[in-house]
């Protein structure tokens, strides 16, 4: 290449053979794949961000119709719509607590209000405790009953209402612990207003009431009996409450302080140990930790607003994150939130962002490999004409006249193809190398042509192309 001189590329473009301006098909395909890869990467990022962002469409049971729990759910949905517009709650009406538990177990709802002693779903985990109700056996003044076993052969009144069946089942469970057949204890269901009269007429010897240590069912029953008997009712102590709770995990032991149900005269008159059940907002164990934590946080932080809508919200409490109860255990996401507060809640998001980051990184690596592959192919395609021109220069000195004409035609085609590309497609470095290789090839062809001398017979090839003007 010592005799090679740069050529006038403008003159080369004016060659009789029209240059092609069409881009190579592989390059167009490469750019298309790169564009598609970028769009797919962006779409995947948006999809992951949308999926893992704190939003949810949740189905929620309402609790027994006409009950306090149904009113609470209505208040919760109303407050949640304002505080968390991205959380859409779809209410599912159920006739009773058992039906609500069944709906959660069957996957027909995401959240349900369940009672710890009433057929708790096997797949349920606690989000928050809505209320803790005392299971109280209220006795009229001067009652001779001193233990649960003493109820045998007696009639127990049960407050009529949406959960009367569940309360009756609680009584049967309590009797079974003391080996008292359920059939030996008669029970009648009466409204609170009629219980006092039934006690006064000695139709019932005790009343089973299940309610909080606050305004509610037990307080109302104590007041009704006090008015009817003109005395101070008592609360039957269950000293075996802790043992009962271990055998029947739906129950727990609770100490009722003096005057919890009536201040003057105090009822009970002394601290009494009895049983309690809990109403819980429960979710399926399949609910993600971040959603469960978000729901718990929403309820606990909006408790004041919920109290303005329903007094029941005053009894909401966070579950014990260390509770290892075999039924209705605390959801892991809620336990993490309660243990670490907001920081733990954010940590949950960071875990998901970490997963998203891994996915994005993998997709980026794949994209980089594809891009590198097409870049190498593009580089090879750019240098292929230069290598061919060098090969033509090497072949020219030994070529006969017909082969020489073929090499000239191929050289012209290569020049037209490369120089006919759009500006900027070929880099300055490759264009300079191409110019040098083209000059080298033309010099070798012209030298061989001069060696062969003028053509004496008719030529079968195309007319010679105009000589390229060298750039001085």
Residue 113, beta-bridge partner list? 281
d(CA 282, CA 330): 9
pLDDT of residue 247: 93
Q: What phi and psi values does residue 57 have, to the nearest 5 degrees?
A: -115, 110
Average pLDDT over residues 2-9: 46
Which has the higher per-residue pLDDT, 44 or 294? 294
User: Please, which residues have CB within 8 angstroms of residue 445's CB and are 6 or more apart in sequence?
Assistant: 392, 393, 396, 404, 407, 408, 411
| Confidence label for 351 from pLDDT (cuts 50, 70 and 90) | low
Q: pLDDT class for 352, splitting at 50, 70, 90?
A: low
Instruction: Examine the pLDDT at 31 and tell me if it is beyond 50.
Output: yes
Average pLDDT over residues 39-64: 66
pLDDT, residue 313, reads: 81
Q: Would you call the peptide bond into 78 cis, given omega within 30 degrees of 0 as the criterion? A: no
- What's residue 17's pLDDT? 40
- Top pLDDT among 388 and 221 is at 221
The CA distance from 72 to 52, in Å, is 29
DSSP 462: P
Predicted pLDDT at 215: 86
Distance CA 135, CA 144 (A): 20
According to the model, what pLDDT value does residue 379 have?
A: 63
Distance (Å, rounded) from C-alpha 441 to C-alpha 3?
A: 11
pLDDT score of 452:
80
Token pair for 163: 């959960």
446: confidence class by pLDDT, cuts 50, 70, 90:
confident
Span 276-290, mean pLDDT? 91
Q: What is the pLDDT of residue 266?
A: 92
Q: Please state, for a pLDDT cut of 70, what percent of the chain lies above it.
A: 72
| Phi/psi at 136 (5° precision) | -110, 130
Q: Is the CA virtual torsion 191, 75, 98, 281 positive or negative?
A: negative
The model's pLDDT over 216-256, given as tens digits with 9 standing for 90+, comes to 899 999 999 999 999 999 999 999 999 999 999 999 999 99
Per DSSP bridges, beta strands 155-159 and 186-190 are: parallel
Average pLDDT for 164-184: 95
Q: Which residue has the higher pLDDT, 248 or 312?
A: 248
Separation in Å, CA 73 to CA 89, 132, 155, 160, 333: 10, 17, 35, 22, 22
Mean pLDDT of 4-17: 44
Which 8-state DSSP code applies to residue 182? G
Q: What is the pLDDT of residue 470?
A: 39
Q: Which of 127-141, 303-317, 458-472 has the highest mean pLDDT?
A: 127-141
Q: What is the mean pLDDT of the chain?
A: 79
* 310 vs 266, residue with greater confidence: 266
CA dihedral 10, 15, 20, 21 (to 10 degrees): 20
Instruction: Look at residue 21 and tell me whether its pLDDT is greater than 60.
Output: no
State how far the Cα of 203 lies from the Cα of 222, in Å rounded to an integer. 17
Closest CA relative to residue 136, chosen from 148, 154, 149, 120: 148
d(C-alpha 232, C-alpha 74), whole Å: 37
pTM score over 0.95? no
Average pLDDT over residues 182-200: 94
Q: Which of 49-53, 402-406, 467-471 has the lowest mean pLDDT?
A: 467-471
Query: What does the pLDDT read at residue 346?
Result: 43
Maximum separation of any 2 CA atoms in the chain, in Å: 144
* Res. 1: pLDDT tops 60: no
Range picked from 10-19, 50-59, 331-340 for highest mean pLDDT: 331-340
Lowest mean pLDDT among 20-24, 54-58, 259-263: 20-24
Q: Which residues fall within 8 angstroms of residue 202, CB to CB, at 6 or more apart? A: none
């Amino acid at each position: 290449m010592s005799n090679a001189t740069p050529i006038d590329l403008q003159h080369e473009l004016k060659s009789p053979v029209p240059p092609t301006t069409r881009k190579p098909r592989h390059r167009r395909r490469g750019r298309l794949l790169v564009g598609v890869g970028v769009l797919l990467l962006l779409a995947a990022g948006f999809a992951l961000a949308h999926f893992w962002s704190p939003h949810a469409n949740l189905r929620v049971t309402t609790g027994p119709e006409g009950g306090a729990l149904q009113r609470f759910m209505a208040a919760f949905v109303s407050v949640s719509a304002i505080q968390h517009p991205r959380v859409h709650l779809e209410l599912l009406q159920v006739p009773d607590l058992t039906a609500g538990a069944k709906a959660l177990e069957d996957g027909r709802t995401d959240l349900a209000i369940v009672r710890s002693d009433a057929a708790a779903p096997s797949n349920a985990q606690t989000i928050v405790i809505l209320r803790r109700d005392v299971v109280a056996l209220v006795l009229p003044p001067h009652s001779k009953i001193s233990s649960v076993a003493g109820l045998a052969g007696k009639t127990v009144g049960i407050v009529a209402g949406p959960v009367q069946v569940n309360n009756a089942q609680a009584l049967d469970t309590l009797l079974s612990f003391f080996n008292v057949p359920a059939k030996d204890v008669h029970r009648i269901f009466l409204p609170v207003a009629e219980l006092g009269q039934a006690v006064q007429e000695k139709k019932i010897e005790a009343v089973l009431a299940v309610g909080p240590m606050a305004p509610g069912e037990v307080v109302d029953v104590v007041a009704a009996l006090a008015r009817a008997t003109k005395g101070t009712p008592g609360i039957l102590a269950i000293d075996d409450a802790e043992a009962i709770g271990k055998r029947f995990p739906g129950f727990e032991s609770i100490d009722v302080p003096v005057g919890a149900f009536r201040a003057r005269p105090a009822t009970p008159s002394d601290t009494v140990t009895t049983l309690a059940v809990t109403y819980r907002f429960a979710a399926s164990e399949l609910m993600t930790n971040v959603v469960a934590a978000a729901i718990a946080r929403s309820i606990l932080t909006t408790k004041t607003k919920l109290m303005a809508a329903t007094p029941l919200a005053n009894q909401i409490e966070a579950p014990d994150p260390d509770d290892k109860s075999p039924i209705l255990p605390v959801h892991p996401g809620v336990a993490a939130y309660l243990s670490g507060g907001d920081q733990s809640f954010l940590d949950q998001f960071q875990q998901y962002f970490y997963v998203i980051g891994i996915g994005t990184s993998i997709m980026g690596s794949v994209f980089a490999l594809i891009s590198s592959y097409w870049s190498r192919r593009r580089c090879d395609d750019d240098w292929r004409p230069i290598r061919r021109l060098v090969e033509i220069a090497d072949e020219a000195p030994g070529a006969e006249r017909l082969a020489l004409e073929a090499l000239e035609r191929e050289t012209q085609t290569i020049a037209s193809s490369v120089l006919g590309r759009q500006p900027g497609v070929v880099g300055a470095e490759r264009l300079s190398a191409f110019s040098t290789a083209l000059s080298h090839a033309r010099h070798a062809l012209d030298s061989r042509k001069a060696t062969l001398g003028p053509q004496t017979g008719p030529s079968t090839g195309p007319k010679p192309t105009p000589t390229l003007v060298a750039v001085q």
